Structure 1
Amino acid sequence: MKHRLCLALLASTVIAGAASAEDVTLTIESWRNDDLSIWQDTIIPAFEAANPGIRINFAPTAPAEYNAVLNSKLDAGSAGDLITCRPFDASLELYNKGQLADLTDLAAMANFSDVAKSAWQTDDGSATFCVPMASVIHGFMYNKTAFEELGLEPPKTVDEFYAVLDKIKEDGSYIPMAMGTADQWEAATMGYQNIGPTYWKGEEGRKALIEGTQKLTDEGWVEPLRQLARWQEYLGDGFEAQTYPDSQNLFTLGRAAIYPTGSWEIGVFGPQIEGAFEMGAFPPPVAAEGDTCYISDHTDIAMGMNAKTAHPEEVRTFLDWVGSAEFATLYANALPGFFAMNSTPVEMENPVAQEFVSWRESCEPTIRSTYQILSRGTPNLENETWNAGANVITGAETPEDAAARLQEGLASWYEPQQ
């Protein structure tokens, strides 16, 4: 009897060992430490329920430290199995060093457009190394309550845009538009990159700049700077000293009627303005009625495979799921304003997020013009555009002079522009 009991215990131990050996734990490296509870409570349980035997450990690093920490871990061979990818050059460098695996043949890649994948591809587009997760869309938020008080409708054309701003300014109850130039980047990110695609025609102009067939002194690139110069009279007193948090506060406190921005503010602003006023959004105005609408639907976050993972098949299973409509729906609703790039439409609950994403149906998407290839040299075109945008708004530089300076800087190191 004792002998049979020992055999039974031994057998159960072997079976338990075999079962645990089959369980694989995959670790995700990420800079989104504010997402930890969302991954633990919503995303990971959904995956694990459908994929028994694969466990997921979400292990984020503080955003400012992520690049350095990740690079150190990858060099030391201690990085997690899954790598959350920043757009363009930072991730491309990891791929070129052999630290991110080629995922071109992953089945889920068929669920994404070329624009969606462009932030995580080689320059020639021959290899894709991260699965797109989310983008952010540029546009204008507005105070619906203020618009109703003043009898205003969201503008569709540039002329209507300035007519609305003039009426708000004339009334005097609200600052027409909340934006400052103290931090500079807002002028470029929320100004130039917001309205610019309308004038350089989105991907057509962006790719032409990379190819060298258009220059920053061409009309399509100078006109957005001229538009920014016109914004000066609508930004309120002291905008030159106004920081990004100042602008956010002016809008959320109901003191400004319009806020040039992007969808990333939705989750932040929603709780702050709840009960105070209703928030709406409108896309960048077109130059004239009937013109094609363009939006900056900027690729922001993706996920790739550590090339040295011990569990490549399990990682590919997870990444195929990240590329699915199920994941897209979970992620987009957990983080309103971070939009799935999956080709399958996602039903979202947040009404302002629904408004932003609806523009994809009628507008041509593009990405920020400075992010791919054109900011690899010195002077850095992205950072120089911050300064140029702020300068034309304050009047420190004419749009034409700013464009000429940007072109000269780019041509000084980028061969196709020489």
Structure 2
Amino acid sequence: MQAKRFTRAALIAALMTAGLAQAGSLTIESWRVDDKALWEDVLIPAFNKKYPDIKVKFSPTAPTEYDSSLTARLTGGTAGDLITLRPFDKSLDLFKKGQIEALNGKKGIENFPASAKVAWQTDDGKTVFGLPMASVIHGILYNKKVFQELNLQPPKTTDEFFKVAEAIKKSGKYTPIALGTADQWEANQIVFTSFGAPYWKGEEGRKALIAGKEKFTDAPFVAAFDFESKLAPYLAKGYQAQTYGDTQTLFASGKAAMVPAGSWDISYYNTNAKFELGAFPPPVPKAGDKCYISDHTDIGMGVNSKSKNKDDAYKFVEWMGSQEFADLYTNKVTGFFSLSSHLIAVKDPVAKQMLDWRKSCSSTIRLNAQIMNRGEPNMENELWNVNSQVLNGKMTAKDAAARIQTGFEKWYKPGK
């Protein structure tokens, strides 16, 4: 009888232990609806090999609805345990409201350099609230077949760039540069903050603007607008009505030789273009100048302060800081590069080419991403408008710089 009681007690204890082991569950909030299969078929199964008893659900929301719906769920206490974070102010706002946790000292964070964490930390740099996941790199993709046909080499300087564009134009066979201004955002996020970085020397110029040591009306920033103003003769007829989708179609069709692009575009062209892609970084102002690339911190992960399963959430964050995650994410989401310090063997040749620029170029983030979008007029919106007008020949470089600086000075006082 005593043996039976022992057996029953042992059985109950075993069942309770099993129940506890299986009780852990996590939900990931994200705007990356395109990544659903990646998480469900690749990333979560990889995590479960290490933590088989933690159930993880990836629950994305459409990008246009993500910010508002996430805010509502966080406020109502119904948001997931892990929060995919946009860079800088939107995530900083969540932290200031106490809706996401500080990650200082948490395992996994140590695998990221200071430059990677800047998009998910407080202005004073003392508190990190997001694990950096990936960045996107900006540059110029080109049609290798066209370059070979016209006996052209990827340009390294501004003069060489325009000589290449002129040679393509003179051939009469191709549009030199696929780029439109109808959607406006590309004019800033793909063109100005990428091509402009070598002029204002990347982080040096960006931080100088924030510190009040430089102004948009200073020569490096005016020069960047001036470069942009010279692109119009090499764009397709009617480019003012050309959308981002139109640009992708034009380049993929083989009718254009070059396209200013983000690394995220590689997947689209791999699928839709019938020619071999090449890539080169933004040309430098003159021979011998240092190379700079826009290597923009794009996506991070935080922990919901109201999560009922923080211990498992931290285990997931720790795993996201591993070599395994960095390798899987970089190679399964072509054009999104891990921000970790781990060495990664990138399989896609064009993605590898762009990632290798980090070895010879200094990385910077999009010029206005940190702090400079906080007031009115909103600088991001202004730069969309102003850069489109410069490309369209409706505004001079000096007037563009003056407008941005005037708007900035209306609300921003350095050091306050």
Identify the TM-score tier after normalising by the shorter chain.
Answer: over 0.9
Question: Which residues of 2 match residues 363-382 of structure 1 at below 5 A?
Answer: 363-382=361-380
Aligned position for 1:34: 34
Pairwise CA distance, 1:345: 2.1
Q: Determine the C-alpha separation between the residues in 1 that align with 2:241 and 2:396.
A: 20
Aligned position for 1:176: 176
Pairwise CA distance, 1:162: 0.9
Aligned position for 1:19: 18
Provide the secondary structure at the position in 2 that maps to 1:303: strand
Whichever residue aligns with residue 331 of structure 1, its letter is Y
Q: Determine the C-alpha separation between the residues in 1 that align with 2:256 and 2:15.
A: 63
Deviates more, 1:131-140 or 1:47-56: 47-56
Whichever residue aligns with residue 141 of structure 2, its letter is M
Provide the secondary structure at the position in 2 that maps to 1:224: helix
Q: 2:390 aligns with which of 368, 371, 392?
A: 392
1:54 correspondence with 2:54: yes
Q: Determine the C-alpha separation between the residues in 2 that align with 1:5 and 1:333.
A: 55
Provide the secondary structure at the position in 1 that maps to 2:231: helix
1:296 correspondence with 2:302: no
Pairwise CA distance, 1:17: 3.1
Q: Determine the C-alpha separation between the residues in 2 that align with 1:125 and 1:58.
A: 30
Whichever residue aligns with residue 339 of structure 2, its letter is M
Aligned position for 1:218: 218
Contact 1:410 1:417 in 2 (8 A): no
Structure 1 runs (4+) greater than 6 angstroms displaced: 3-7
Provide the secondary structure at the position in 2 that maps to 1:415: coil
Q: Determine the C-alpha separation between the residues in 1 that align with 2:239 and 2:58.
A: 41
Q: Determine the C-alpha separation between the residues in 2 that align with 1:315 and 1:201.
A: 39
Question: Which residues of 2 match residues 227-238 of structure 1 at below 5 A?
Answer: 227-238=227-238
Whichever residue aligns with residue 346 of structure 2, its letter is M
Q: Determine the C-alpha separation between the residues in 2 that align with 1:121 and 1:9.
A: 52
Pairwise CA distance, 1:107: 3.2
Aligned position for 2:275: 277
Contact 1:88 1:120 in 2 (8 A): yes
Pairwise CA distance, 1:13: 4.8
Aligned position for 1:202: 202
User: Would you say how many aligned residue pairs link Structure 1 and Structure 2?
Assistant: 415
1:362 correspondence with 2:369: no
Q: 1:328 aligns with which of 322, 326, 337?
A: 326
Pairwise CA distance, 1:103: 0.5
Pairwise CA distance, 1:127: 0.5
Pairwise CA distance, 1:329: 0.4
Pairwise CA distance, 1:146: 0.6
- Is the alpha carbon distance of 1:267 and 1:9 closer, same or farther for their aligned partners in structure 2, counting shifts above 3 Å? farther
Pairwise CA distance, 1:72: 1.1
Q: Determine the C-alpha separation between the residues in 2 that align with 1:122 and 1:221.
A: 27
For 1:245-303, what per-residue CA distance to the aligned partner results, in whole angstroms no more than 9, with x for missing partners? 11111100001000001101011221111xx2111111111122221110000000000
Pairwise CA distance, 1:189: 1.3
Pairwise CA distance, 1:11: 4.7
Aligned position for 1:405: 403
Q: Aligned-residue CA RMSD in angstroms?
A: 1.7
For 1:140-193, what per-residue CA distance to the aligned partner results, in whole angstroms no more than 9, with x for missing partners? 000011111111111111111111111101101100000011111111112101
1:316 correspondence with 2:284: no
1:157 correspondence with 2:136: no
Pairwise CA distance, 1:95: 0.2
Pairwise CA distance, 1:108: 2.1
Whichever residue aligns with residue 393 of structure 2, its letter is G
Deviates more, 1:305-314 or 1:404-413: 305-314
- Unpaired segments ≥5 residues, structure 2: none
Whichever residue aligns with residue 62 of structure 2, its letter is A
Q: Determine the C-alpha separation between the residues in 2 that align with 1:140 and 1:219.
A: 24
Q: Determine the C-alpha separation between the residues in 1 that align with 2:389 and 2:415.
A: 24
Pairwise CA distance, 1:343: 1.4
Q: Percent identity?
A: 49
Q: Determine the C-alpha separation between the residues in 1 that align with 2:81 and 2:403.
A: 44
Whichever residue aligns with residue 138 of structure 1, its letter is H
- Is the alpha carbon distance of 1:417 and 1:403 closer, same or farther for their aligned partners in structure 2, counting shifts above 3 Å? farther
Deviates more, 1:345-354 or 1:139-148: 345-354
Q: Determine the C-alpha separation between the residues in 1 that align with 2:283 and 2:236.
A: 21
Q: Determine the C-alpha separation between the residues in 2 that align with 1:95 and 1:283.
A: 35
Whichever residue aligns with residue 384 of structure 1, its letter is E
Contact 1:215 1:417 in 2 (8 A): no
Provide the secondary structure at the position in 1 that maps to 2:197: helix
Q: Determine the C-alpha separation between the residues in 2 that align with 1:57 and 1:348.
A: 27
Per the normalisation by structure 1, the TM-score is 0.96
Q: Determine the C-alpha separation between the residues in 2 that align with 1:20 and 1:280.
A: 54
Q: Determine the C-alpha separation between the residues in 2 that align with 1:306 and 1:82.
A: 6
Pairwise CA distance, 1:378: 0.9
Contact 1:411 1:417 in 2 (8 A): no
Pairwise CA distance, 1:57: 1.5
Provide the secondary structure at the position in 1 that maps to 2:131: strand
For 1:122-154, what per-residue CA distance to the aligned partner results, in whole angstroms no more than 9, with x for missing partners? 111110100000000000000011111111111
Provide the secondary structure at the position in 2 that maps to 1:270: helix
Q: Determine the C-alpha separation between the residues in 2 that align with 1:181 and 1:245.
A: 11
Pairwise CA distance, 1:115: 1.9
Aligned position for 1:80: 80
Aligned position for 1:343: 341
Q: Determine the C-alpha separation between the residues in 2 that align with 1:402 and 1:293.
A: 25
Contact 1:174 1:257 in 2 (8 A): yes
Deviates more, 1:13-22 or 1:320-329: 13-22
Q: Determine the C-alpha separation between the residues in 1 that align with 2:132 and 2:384.
A: 26
